[in-house]
Copies of this chain bind each other. A is one copy, B any other.
C-alpha cells in the first residue's frame, strides 16, 4: 500500500508526522514523501524534512495525506499541489487532509459540495472554496477524510487504520503511541470562535 505524504514549504510538521507515525509503521505500508523537488522542505517552525520522490515522478497512491500549515496560502497561490492532487486523487482509495490541507483538496475540486473539516480559524476560507464545512475533528465522506487542526491528524489516521485494517489494529496502534491524552488544560475548540481570536490565529499562520 503506497501512502503519499505531500510536502510543501512552510507546512506544519505535526500535520505530517501525526498521520505518518500512525500509518507508516503498518507492515503493509510503503511511505512516500512527495514534493516539488528532491530538496529538503522546511516546515513552518524550522524543521526540514527530506522528500523521497517528486510530484512529477509519483503518479499514483493508495492513500494521500495533505498536511496544512503556515504556507497554506502560498501553496494555494502556487497551485502545484492542487494540480498533482487533481491527477492522483482518482487513483487513491483514500484522500485525506489535516488542518488547512483541506483548502488544497478543495482547490483541486475534491471537496465540491462535500462535508469537510479544517482548522477552526480557517473555516470561512474552506467554505469559500466550495466545501460544506463541519466543525468535527474528523469527517469521513466517501473516499475523502478530513481532519481539524494540527494534532487532529492523529485521530484522523487512527480512524483510517480502523477503516483499512479493523478496530483491533487501530486499538493496538493507539496503545503503542500511547494516545491516551492528558492535555494539561481544559481547552475546547470553539464552535463559533470570536472574531479577534480568529484574526490572532490567522496572524500566527501568516507570520510563522
- List chain A positions with a Cβ less than 8 A from chain B: 5, 12-14, 16-18, 20-21, 24-25, 31, 33, 40, 44-50, 52, 99, 119-120, 137-138, 148-152, 154-155, 158-159, 162, 167, 170-171, 174-185, 187-189, 201, 204, 208
Contact = CB atoms under 8 A, between A and B. Distances in A.
Contact of A176 (B33, B137, B159, B201): B201
A4 to B, nearest CB: 13
Contacts of A167: 185
Nearest to A149: B178
User: Quick one: copies of this chain in the complex?
Assistant: 2
A150 B170 contact: no
Given A33-B47, A46-B31, A183 B179 contact: yes
Nearest to A152: B178
B154 A178 contact: no
20 contacts: A12-B21, A13-B17, A13-B21, A24-B46, A24-B47, A25-B45, A25-B208, A49-B49, A149-B177, A149-B178, A150-B177, A150-B179, A151-B177, A154-B181, A155-B181, A175-B187, A176-B204, A180-B189, A181-B181, A181-B183
Give the one of A49, A162, A180 with max B CB within 10 A: A180
A77 to B, nearest CB: 23
Given A149-B176, A185-B167, A201-B176, A20 B47 contact: yes
A103 to B, nearest CB: 16
Give the one of A12, A181, A204 with max B CB within 10 A: A181
Contacts of A184: 138, 155, 158-159, 162, 170, 174
Give the one of A21, A170, A177, A184 with max B CB within 10 A: A184
Nearest to A181: B181
Contacts of A170: 184-185
